[in-house]
A and B are shown apart, each in its own frame.
Chain A
Amino acid sequence: MNCKQVRRLLRTRSLKMDQALEVELQDHLHQCPSCQQAFAARIKLNRQIRENQPLIVPPLDREHYWLDLRQRLKPYETLTHRHFFSFMPDPALVTAAGLLILIIMVTTLPFHLAPEVRVQSSAHHEERAIRVLSVQSPDVDLTVTRYELQDSPTVVLYIRQVPLNLQEVRNQHE
Chain B
Amino acid sequence: MISRDSITTAINACLAGDPESFRLIVESYQNRLIRLAYRYVHDWEEAKDVSQEVFIKVYYSLKSVDPKKSFEAWILRITVNLCLDRLRQRQIRYRHAPLVEKLYTPSFEQPDAALQGREELLALHRSLEALNDRQRTVFILRELEDLSFAEIAQVLRCRETTVRVHLFLAKKKLEALLDHPALSKGEE
- Residues on A lying within 8 angstroms of B by beta carbon are 11, 38, 41-42, 44-45, 48-49, 51-53, 55, 57-58, 60, 62, 65-66, 68-70, 72-73, 76-77, 79-81
Contacts and interface: CB of A to CB of B under 8 A. Distances in A.
A42 to B, nearest CB: 6
B27 interface: yes
B144 A76 contact: no
Given A65-B48, A76-B56, A52 B175 contact: no
Interface stretch (B31-39, B71-79, B92-100): B31-39
Contacts of A44: 175, 178-179
Given A41-B178, A51-B121, A52-B121, A57 B35 contact: yes
Contacts of B175: 38, 41-42, 44-45
Contacts, number: 86
Query: Chain B contact residues (Cβ within 8 angstroms of A): what range?
Result: 35 or more
Which DSSP category, helix, strand, loop or mixed, fits chain B's interface? Answer: helix
Contacts of B63: 80
15 contacts: A41-B176, A48-B120, A48-B123, A49-B143, A51-B120, A52-B121, A53-B143, A53-B144, A53-B146, A62-B30, A69-B55, A70-B19, A73-B22, A76-B56, A79-B60
Contacts of B124: 45, 48-49, 51-52
B114 to A, nearest CB: 10
Nearest to A65: B30
Nearest to B178: A44
B17 interface: yes
Interface centre among B39, B143, B144, B179 (most CB of A within 10 A): B143
B60 A57 contact: no
